[in-house]
Every structure is written in structure tokens, then in C-alpha cells.
Amino acid sequence: MKKKSNIQGKLNGLKDRIKLLIEQGLLEQAMGIIIQYEKVVPRDVEIHSMKAVIYMMSNKLVEAERTLKEGLMIDKYNFDILYNLGYVYSLSGRYYEAMTSYYLAKLETKDLLSIEDIQQEIMKISCKINNGCEAQNKRIEKFRLSFKTKVILVGNKDQVNEVREEFDHDFVIVRCIDFLNSEIKATDINFRKELKNLDFDYIVLLSKEDEEIQRHKEILNRVGILEKKIFEYHKFNFNFVIEGFDYKLLQSLKNDKVELITTGLSYAEVGVDGKFLERNSINIALSSQDLFYDFEFFKFVYNFKYIKENLKYAIINLGYYSFDYDLSRTFERTRIHRYYPLLKTTHNYDNELGIRLINKMYHREVSSKAYLSSRIFKSNKVLDSSCSEKGKKYAMYHSRMNRPKIVNENKKIFDEFINFLINNNVKPIILVCPVSQYYYKYSSSDLKGRFYKIINEFKRRYDFQIIDLFKSSMFNDEDFWDDSHLNNEGAKKLTIFLEENIEW
């Protein structure tokens, strides 16, 4: 044990020596020690970070990127590796990769100065991305508002202290108002003038009592505060589930020369396993992801250099209900918080402050590693008859979906998506994933008919392949972990089938 401790002490001493040489600008000497160090310890993420810094200081950005990506293979959640990747990509003009790297680095630190620095870098990059386009300048303004949003908190001292942590470095608390312990009246001219002169984005009501909330709203309405500026904190649903958006971003960042992207719903999220495909691929399908976010997420990662240069195929996973489905209008609408930090859209849901707050809570309470752990647990399960009721419930719920307004919007999105792919020489493949008997026996034939009526409209205009395995006899109960999601064995079976049957 003592010998091991001595060895570690010597290694740490070498690291300190390397850091000192880098600070002194003696880069060749520092690199020489690193080369010797790696002969003894080849997989040390801290050494990879230092080596990358030497490459950056020598303006060898390609070597720096390669070294940092090797570091990600050792520790994909390392702050220094992710932050330095952001810096390298920014210097290289690869702004979408830079923004993604900085964002992922931000998730791995609690240091307020580092968070502040990263937010400023992301803001600079977003302005570079959107430079020179008046329509996009509105998005720049959204990026500006997403930093240091100004709020007025309405509540007593205890209520303010209870939530103050939620309004720390991302917000500026302009003022706290306690209506109960003040002489403020709705007719108070001074109060009207003060509110008019205050620069704020939202007024946050902290009371939990309906009558008190209503009284506060009446006061604010009478002094001219618009309803959209008032946020009722304790009436917002802050419940959340484990999300995979950040993990998918990381996978998109790590992969080089991507030829295939899979997007869509949770069926493809768990059902398409890239290790059984001959082409390098990434999977950005997510639970409850609709067509709108399919396309937004796809466009974002398409801007990554090694994706744009190499992409040839896109699998779009649809359910028969996909054209009737808009996540931002469902009971799960707050799940769009996962996209907001980078995509900066809430689609058809207008409670932007609520989405930002729930995203902040999520990242404070849920580890970056939670998604992968959850996936591993589920994918090793095998369904049983207890899934019958759940399958029936969701199949009947999906079958009842008949929403013409949402259909029209989704047809436009799908049209733009297919057009985007074809214009960029990417072949679209539409995939309907298999479901178990506990789901398909309750699914409506009318729903399938409406789906194919829409798909056939597009088939007459565009050339794309459709693979429908909804009720395929290839799959049995042992291939699923619940009523409609494949487990590891099912995913292997599906992906091998795709490899053999996609018209490459």
C-alpha cells in the first residue's frame, strides 16, 4: 500500500512539473515529460488535458481536438476536457460544436465563476452563429434574455428565502416585495411609477394560497402589469423524469465521420443500436420527441463538421400517431425543458420562465450519468403480462388522437424535414418500430389508415424508403422490456434487420 502511495506521489509530482513548464512556456520540455509519463500511465485524463493545452498554445488545433476526444473516451464527463474542446472549436470557427462543448462542461461544475465564464462564451458564440440576419437577431435577443433574467419576487421573507437558490447566477433579483407588510395599494401612484421605472422580465408570485395569489394578481393588473409577465411559482408543475438530451449531445460530439443519424421517438431510442450497423452512426431519438423537435435537434447536430461532411442517411422513427402529436401541447409539455438551453424554443408552450426553472432544477438534482444507468436497467428487462394494462391504455390513447390542426402543422414540418435531407444529399428512411401484442391488439386500424394517407401523399412527391415493423412476426415477448419498447435482444434483432434491408 505504501509503495502504491509513493508511486502516486511521484506521478503527481510529474504533473506539477508539467504544469509549471506549461506556465513558463517551455512547451517542448513539458511534452517530453508527458511522452515519458504516458509510457507508464497511458490513460490519464488530466495528462490528455495538459497535452491538449500544449497543442493549443502551439496553434495545433487538429492535434488538440484529437487529444481531447481521446480524453473523452477515458472520462466523458470531465470538465477540463469539455471546456477545452469548447475553446478549440471556437478558435476553429466550429461554433455549434463549441456551444455544445461549453454547455456540457457547464453541467459538470458548480464553480460560479466557471459557470459565468461559460455563459458569456456561449452568448458570444450564439451571436456569431446568428450574425447578419434580422430574423435570427430575435434569437440573439432570446440568448441575451436567457442570461441574467431580471425578476421581482413577491412574497414574505420566508417565501423569498425558500426559493432564492433557484434565482441565483442565472437571474438578477431586481426587488423583493411583501404586499402584506407594506403600505402598497393598487392606487399608489409612487408604486405605479416605481414599477414603470424598474427593468424586469417577470414578477414571480411566491404565495401558496389561492386567495392571496389572486389578490396579488389584482394589484399587479391594476397597475398595468400584463398577465404574461406574472409567474405563479407554486402552481407550476416542477416534476421531471430522467432525460437523454445531454447524453445524445455528448455522443454526437464524440463521434467522427457520422454517416447515419437516427431520430424519432423512444421506440427508436432503445430499438436502434449503432454497434450492429456497419456505418458510423448516432442516435438522437428521445422519449416523447415529436416531429418538431426531431427536426430542430437534427438541424442542430447537422452543423457539426464531421456530421455535415459525411452524413448520407437519416432514419426517422414515426408512430402511427406522430402527425397528431405535439409534445408542447401534451400533459408532458414541460419535458421540452431538456432542449431549451441550446435550441432556445418552447414551440407551442408559452411558459418560458417555467421551462428555464425546471431545467435548472433538473440539472441540479439529476446526475449526467443517470440517463445511461436508466437505459441499461430497462434494456436488460423482459416484459411480462403485467404490461398488458399499460399497453392497452397507451394504444387506445394514441388511437383516439385525431387533431387536424396539429396534423397540418406536422405535415409542414415533415415536408421541410424531408426537403432538407434531400437537398443535402441525405437519404430519408421512415421507420415504424415493432410493438408487443399487448399494444398492437388495441391499436386502431383507422389511425394506421390516416398515417398512410399522409405518408403516401409525400411518397408521391419525394423518394424515400419506409420500413414498417409495427406488427412484425419477427419479434416476440422476449424482445421487449415493456409493451412497446425493445430490450437489448430486440434492439439487436431490429438493427441487424435494418442493416440488411435498408436500401443503402
Instruction: Please state which CATH class domain 43-142 belongs to.
Output: mainly alpha
CA distance 439 to 454: 23
* Share above pLDDT 70 across residues of the chain, in percent, rounded to a whole number: 92
CA distance 314 to 430: 8
pLDDT value of residue 132: 45
The residues spanned by each domain of the chain are 43-142, 149-235, 245-333+343-349+368-402+425-451+465-501
Q: Are 91 and 61 in contact (CB under 8 A)?
A: yes
User: Which residues, given as ranges, of the chain have pLDDT below 70?
Assistant: 1-7, 132-147, 180-193
pLDDT value of residue 315: 98
Q: Are 326 and 409 in contact (CB under 8 A)?
A: yes
Instruction: Please state which CATH class domain 245-333+343-349+368-402+425-451+465-501 belongs to.
Output: alpha beta
- Grid cell digits, residue 60: 495545433
pLDDT value of residue 387: 83
Was domain 149-235 assigned CATH 3.40.50.300?
A: no
How would you classify the pairing of strands 149-154 and 202-205? Answer: parallel
Fold: same for 149-235 and 245-333+343-349+368-402+425-451+465-501: yes
Q: What is the pTM of this model?
A: 0.90
- Grid cell digits, residue 307: 456530421
3-state DSSP call for residue 470? coil
- Grid cell digits, residue 373: 444507468
How many CB atoms lie under 10 A from the CB of residue 363? Answer: 17
CA distance 166 to 373: 27
The 10s digit of each residue's pLDDT in 10-36 is 778 888 899 999 999 999 999 999 998
The 10s digit of each residue's pLDDT in 87-96 is 999 999 999 9
- Grid cell digits, residue 112: 460560479
Q: Are 311 and 427 in contact (CB under 8 A)?
A: no
pLDDT value of residue 134: 42
pLDDT value of residue 133: 44
The 10s digit of each residue's pLDDT in 94-146 is 999 999 999 999 999 988 889 889 988 998 898 888 774 444 445 545 555 44
Q: Are 126 and 143 in contact (CB under 8 A)?
A: yes
CA distance 244 to 366: 11
